[in-house]
Amino acid sequence: MRVVAASLFLACAMTGQLVFAAEQKPYADIPVHKQSGIDYVSGGMTPEEKHEIQRIANKYPMQMVFTAEGEPPELKGVQVKVKDLKGNVVLEAEAQGPFFYFNPPSGRWTMEAQYKGETVSRTVDLIGRRYIVLPFHFKGSGG
């Protein structure tokens, strides 16, 4: 009985290690940044980055996705501001691709995204472990 239990434990431990190792291997380097205690990532310029950002998406409940008329889907250079309930800017960054994900605490958040002089804004309430995907569409050069 002890041999069976030990074998079962060893098999589970080995399987867990294999799964853990597979989870740690990134498809692309997506650096995690931090401002005001909020982690954020951005990217999606290559197929590898898109795959990696989708793989880590479950860590970031607020997910901004940028598109623009007449622009390639690999949109880069969107200026992002995240404001708290009082209107204080708690995160300000330039998106390094069409995806910008961040992990704030629960509360009301206003996101402003600016691209080529056009600003799009969204205010949402994040409650608990809910995931919110926010599309930001710009008129771009086609509008």
Q: What is the CATH number of the domain that holds 83?
A: 2.60.40.10
The per-residue pLDDT for 128 is: 80
Radius of gyration of the chain (CA): 19
The per-residue pLDDT for 26 is: 61
Of 75, 60, 68, 78, the C-alpha closest to 115 is: 78
Task: Evaluate whether residue 10 is within a structural domain.
Answer: no
For residue 53, give its domain range. Answer: 30-142
In terms of C-beta distances under 8 Å and separation of at least 24 residues, what long-range contacts does 132-137 make, across chains too?
132/61, 132/62, 132/63, 133/63, 133/65, 134/62, 134/63, 134/64, 134/65, 135/65, 135/67, 136/64, 136/65, 136/66, 136/67, 136/78, 136/111, 137/66, 137/67, 137/68, 137/69
Task: Evaluate whether residue 136 is within a structural domain.
Answer: yes
Task: Evaluate whether residue 11 is within a structural domain.
Answer: no
Q: How far is CA 124 from the centre of its chain?
A: 16
CA atoms within 13 A on the CB side of 120: 16
The per-residue pLDDT for 22 is: 46
**Ramachandran class of 110: left when φ > 0, alpha when ψ lies in -120 to 50, beta otherwise:** beta
Structure tokens at 128: 């608990």
Task: Evaluate whether residue 15 is within a structural domain.
Answer: no
Averages of pLDDT over runs of 10 residues in the chain (143 residues) are 42 42 63 96 95 95 96 93 97 98 95 97 90 92 54
Task: Evaluate whether residue 13 is within a structural domain.
Answer: no
Task: Evaluate whether residue 4 is within a structural domain.
Answer: no
Task: Evaluate whether residue 138 is within a structural domain.
Answer: yes
**Tally of domains in the chain:** 1
Q: Which amino acid is at 137?
A: H
The per-residue pLDDT for 30 is: 93
Task: Evaluate whether residue 8 is within a structural domain.
Answer: no
